[in-house]
Amino acid sequence: MSRYNDKEYILSVLAKNKPGVLLRIAGLFSRRCYNILSIVAAQTENMEYSRILIVVSGDDRIVRQVDKQLSKLIDIENVTVLNKEEAVVREHLLLKVERNMENNEKLVQIADVFHANILNVEKDSMIVELTGDATTINSFIELYNPYNIIKILRTGSMAMVK
Amino acid sequence: MKLTGAQIIMECLIEQGVDTVFGYPGGAVLNIYDALFEYKNRIKHIRTAHEQGAAHAADGYARSTGKTGVCIATSGPGATNLVTGIATAYMDSVPMVAITGNVSCDLLGLDSFQEVDITGITMPVTKHNFLVRNIEDLADTLRKAFIIASSGRKGPVLVDIPKDVTAQKFEYEIKNVDFHIYKTPFPKAERLEKAVKMLRDSEKPFIYTGGGVIAAEASEELKEFAELLDAPVSSSLMCQGGYDQKEARYMGMLGMHGTKTAALAIKNCDLLIAVGTRFSDRVLCNANLFAQHCPIIQIDIDTAEFNKNIDVDLKLKGNAKEILTHINELLPQRQHKQWMEQIFEWKDFYPLEQDCLSEDEVTPKEVIETLDRLTKSNAVIVTEVGQHQMWAAQFYNYRSPRHFITSGGLGTMGFGLGAAIGAQTANLDKKVINIAGDGSFHMNCNELSTAANYNIPVVELIFNNSVLGMVHQWQKLFYQNRFSETNLDKTTNFEMLANAFGVKAFTITKREDIEPVLKEALELNEPVVINCLINPDYNVLPMVPAGGSVEAPILEI
């Protein structure tokens, strides 16, 4: 349930690589009624830690609560609320689209305009890959929309302070 | 020295100063119970009638001593039976370590007999929990569990140990684990200076205290602070006895069933100082109508409690004892003669009252006040949840901390008897009285058998009105007397029930019974049940109805 004046915040969470740590985070969000828009988790350069990036919708007050409640979890080392202006934000997209002789050229053209990679081509479909911020990815999908998209896989936001 | 996992558990408990544990045996904890047999001269084990009772007993032990309470249960149903007790401790920030057995590692995840994912189940109601799959992690995990449970904002920690881990052998040595999860924060100097300035500028300050005062052992500092500031003191349900209630400046509880004096004082104060309290909805009533006219200073160890239920003007993050000590050094003696006189006037004008509904009837007030007199305000009072809980909070004079034990946050009916057993085990020199309602008593009366088996001399005082009083009161007020399912069966004979457990029982039916029965029961050095029959129409008053302002309680119905 998002409300009119809700904004999006990106939280960068450094967590110990313990079993169930994602469950602890997800459980906290659900029981405290915070909204997760997307979540990306992966090991860091240090094998003992994971970096988890969570996009939350809410107001300032909620995001401060999320930050403080997350910080109380024993397996969490550090929580940072990232300012979008001061960070590089990227999402990753895999898109499978129907292909035929008529639209083939158009599909490749769109990919070229966005510097997207064509990863695989089959007789009647192809898979393209794109990395970019949310707006770019949304535009990219919009352009493919008329051509019968078969499947979309999209990660949440990854973000790093500049 | 090589020890089995079960022996390592015993050694770690001894390392942590644990002398008593509460639990119930079962398949997955056979090794642990075998070790308990071996260590029985060093660790006392109380077997309750039900695992829930064990969790509440560990909780009562912890609340009455400040030490971490320990309970043990087997896998599956044993572990799930602890959950209500763990949640109760979690909501009231009580330090507890719950040890559960689980099926052997090779059977985990296979829906094995008596297997549940208890770490998954208890995640929302523990500060943290562990599943120990490797014997080499066992000792340090237990040590960490005790550190987590008793540091910062305290709370329960669960350690789940598969059966094979308790059988394996591993090298054990006493050591301190290097595990600093929590560095107690302390406010910056400028914040403290700002606080002192606000305190000095205030002409009508109001101190609102919560369970954090008791958890931080800050009663003496609080007393000094209140006297320096020359301010009246009120408390939440969780801080009964945090301030000597016989002191003139104590106004009683604040909140849904708070005193009229506290309500008038908060309406008229010009500064609210909240110490170790989380502005629970039972105190705030309507958050939008709570202390809107005055600045608020909040002292708390858990930063997540700042600006959670209500916005505050100055946050002092840290241990209440340390912060109050510091403020007491900086704050010059204040005088608020007029304000305090006004408070005393209100106190005289609005005492807590409960008149006999018909002539010569037993009132809960008279029973509890007689109990207060006979025990010289020095008994440990435990409660269940409901009307009797509020009466126990209102009419007994708690003069020092850890003498009132109640489930405030979770409101767990069935909490009291188990908790009383735990509290009595830890306080052999004190009278422990569980004040109950007949509804709550019915929930977990099985624990009378524990009290009888171990001759734990708790007094079970049941206010028996044959209704679920608090819900009944709400139905009376807001549901047009439609008493849906709150009229209890009257067929249980509490005296015979007590006798069946091997427990003596008394009945109070009229006013003349009160003193002699209480006297006789208190003099016994064995568990005893007092069935005190009361009229179902006694209400808990004052009362702030749902959505109302804390400043305007209703005084009569």
Active-site residue flag, B114: yes
**A74–B181 CB contact, under 8 Å:** yes
pLDDT at B199: 98
Domains and CATH numbers, chain A: 7-82 (3.30.70.260), 88-161 (3.30.70.1150)
* Chain B residues within an 8 Å CB radius of A74: 127-128, 148, 181
How much is the pTM?
0.95
pLDDT at B355: 87
Active-site residue flag, B470: yes
What would the DSSP string read from start to end of B25-89? Answer: --GGGHHHHHHHHHTTTTSEEEE-SSHHHHHHHHHHHHHHHSSPEEEEE-STHHHHHHHHHHHHH
B153 to chain A: nearest residue by CA? A72
CB atoms near residue A134 (< 10 Å): 17
Q: Tell me whether B134 touches chain A (CB under 8 Å).
A: no
* Chain A residues within an 8 Å CB radius of B303: 68, 71
pLDDT at B376: 98
Q: Where are the beta strands (DSSP E) in B176-335?
A: 205-209, 233-235, 250-253, 271-275, 296-300, 314-317
pLDDT at B412: 98
In chain B, what are the domain boundaries? 2-171, 189-349, 364-533
**AA identity, residue B300:** D
**B308–A65 CB contact, under 8 Å:** yes
Mean pLDDT of A82-110: 93
Q: Tell me whether B304 touches chain A (CB under 8 Å).
A: yes
The CATH-assigned architecture of domain B189-349 is: 3-Layer(aba) Sandwich (3.40)
A89: left (phi over 0), alpha (psi -120 to 50) or beta: beta
The Cα A20–Cα B119 span in angstroms is: 9
Mean pLDDT of A113-120: 97
pLDDT at A4: 63
**B304–A24 CB contact, under 8 Å:** no
Q: Which CATH class is domain B364-533?
A: alpha beta
The Cα A61–Cα B80 span in angstroms is: 35
The CATH-assigned architecture of domain B2-171 is: 3-Layer(aba) Sandwich (3.40)
**B302–A69 CB contact, under 8 Å:** no
A75 to chain B: nearest residue by CA? B128
Residues of chain B with pLDDT under 70: 180-181
Identity of the residue in B123, B181, B306 whose CB atom sits nearest the CB atom of A24: B123
Q: Tell me whether B175 touches chain A (CB under 8 Å).
A: no
* Chain B residues within an 8 Å CB radius of A73: 128
Mean pLDDT across chain B: 97
Q: What is the pLDDT of residues A20-29, one digit of tens each?
A: 999 999 999 9
pLDDT tier, A1 (very low <50, low <70, confident <90, very high otherwise)? very low
The Cα A39–Cα A22 span in angstroms is: 10
pLDDT at B147: 95
pLDDT reading at A71 higher than 50: yes
Q: Which residue has the higher pLDDT, A5 or B322?
A: B322
A24 to chain B: nearest residue by CA? B123
pLDDT at B178: 74
The Cα B157–Cα B150 span in angstroms is: 10
> Which of A24, A28, A69, A74 has the most B C-beta neighbours within 10 Å, making it the best mutation to test the interface with B?
A74
The Cα B24–Cα B51 span in angstroms is: 6
Identity of the residue in A19, A31, A69 whose CB atom sits nearest the CB atom of B304: A69
For residue B82, which of B51, B103, B59 has the smallest C-alpha distance?
B51
